[in-house]
Amino acid sequence: MLVSGKEILRDALEKKYAVPAFNFTNMENLQAIIDGAEEMNSPVIIQTTQGAIEYAGFEYLADLGKGAAKRAKVPVALHLDHGTDLEYHLKAIRLGWTSLMIDASKCDFETNVNIVRQVVKIAHVLDISVEAELGVIAGKEDDIESDISIYTEVHDAVKFYNETNCDSLAIAVGTAHGIYKGEVKIDFDRIREIKQEINIPLVLHGSSGVPEDMLGKAVESGINKINFDTELKLANLKAMRKFIEENPNIYDIRKVFKPCRIAMKEVVIKKIKACKSYNKA
């Protein structure tokens, strides 16, 4: 069933688990997410970046996402991931997205606050939840790459929350988008300190490649939503390459996609276990 972002994260906050959030771009990708969530009886967030919307088309992704969510036996929220442009937020609201992220983290603090307030003002009238981001998460997002992380300061997070009234907050605590180049380090104390000051759902981005035990520790420290994208993409491609190498004469594309879907579903199940969201639907 399609549910609001507020509802899905409220339960995670109360019961101290994290809702896994997976990016999707096409049908096979989405089916793997929903199948995995149903098998584990887990709530799930399906999310689209502006890049995914550009690739697949806004209306098309809306139909795909809402159709899958409505058929699902578990609660599913449809979320706009890293929305930077107000037009995307407005159109996502009109087309039935149930959760939004406004990412103005590349702006200075005051500009970030002002942009987030604008989106919150519109979204809250319609009871749609808003995730914001404070700090800089390293790595590749769309075509933009940042080598450095600027960790979220506790006092900034408090001030930011008080001034924006956002519903959830993505914080920079050591993870990076895309493929990890070095060892993963997460500042768990920082998560705990921020959570102690503002008891709202905290979001971990760039979570592909983070060992499962560290994800578990992040959840224990106060993370209530964990975003995964790259690991799904990699599993998809790896299965596709293997199948094509082993079956060079196959031209029925459905036969190629089947092992890809299974490989992505395996990633989904592994992440649900780390998020401790199984049997919470």
3-state secondary structure 107-168: CCHHHHHHHHHHHHHHHHHCCCEEEEEECECEEEECCEEECCCECCCHHHHHHHHHHHCCCE
* Residue among 206 and 259 whose Cβ is closer to ligand G3H: 206
Is-catalytic flag, 81? Answer: yes
* Residue among 230 and 236 whose Cβ is closer to ligand G3H: 230
Q: Is 142 in the site for ligand G3H (CB under 6 A)?
A: yes
Which residue among 6, 66, 195, 205 contacts Zn ion (CB under 5 A)?
A: 205
How far apart CA 146 and CA 141 sit, in angstroms, is 8
206 is in an annotated binding site: yes
Which residue among 221, 224, 230, 277 contacts ligand 13P (CB under 6 A)?
A: 230
Which residue among 42, 229, 235, 260 contacts ligand 13P (CB under 6 A)?
A: 229
Sorted by sequence, the CB contacts under 8 Å of residue 162 that are 6+ apart come out as none
Instruction: Please identify the residue of the shown chain whose CB is closest to the bound Zn ion.
Output: 205
230 is in an annotated binding site: yes
3-state secondary structure of 207: coil
51: partner contacted, choices ligand G3H, ligand 13P, Zn ion, none (Cβ within 5-8 A by kind):
ligand G3H
DSSP 2: B
Other CB atoms within 10 Å distance of the CB of residue 100: 26
Residue spans of alpha helices (H) in the chain: 5-15, 27-40, 50-56, 58-71, 86-95, 109-125, 154-164, 188-197, 212-221, 230-246, 253-275
Determine contact, residues 103/116, Cβ cutoff 8 Å: no
Question: What residues numbered 41-70 form the site for Zn ion, per CB under 5 A?
Answer: none
Nearest to 116 by CA among 132, 99, 93: 132
Q: Which stretch binds ligand 13P (CB under 6 A): 33-41, 70-78, 204-212, 254-262?
A: 204-212
Output the smallest distance, CB 205 to Zn ion, in A: 3
Determine contact, residues 224/218, Cβ cutoff 8 Å: no
* Residue among 34 and 137 whose Cβ is closer to Zn ion: 137
Other CB atoms within 10 Å distance of the CB of residue 110: 9
Q: Is 208 in the site for ligand 13P (CB under 6 A)?
A: yes
* Residue among 1 and 179 whose Cβ is closer to ligand G3H: 179
Task: Give me 201's structure tokens.
Answer: 């759902």
Q: Which stretch binds ligand 13P (CB under 6 A): 92-100, 182-190, 205-213, 216-224?
A: 205-213
- 11, 63, 81, 108: the catalytic one is 81
**What residues make contact with ligand G3H under the rule CB under 6 A?**
23, 49, 51-52, 81-82, 141-142, 177, 229-230
> Annotated binding residues, as ranges?
82, 103, 133, 177-178, 205-208, 227-230
Give me the residues that bind Zn ion (CB under 5 A), please.
Answer: 205, 227
Which residues make up each annotated binding site for Zn(2+)? 82, 103, 133, 177, 205
Annotated binding site for dihydroxyacetone phosphate: 178, 206-208, 227-230
Binding site for ligand 13P (CB under 6 A): 23, 81-82, 177-178, 205-208, 227-231
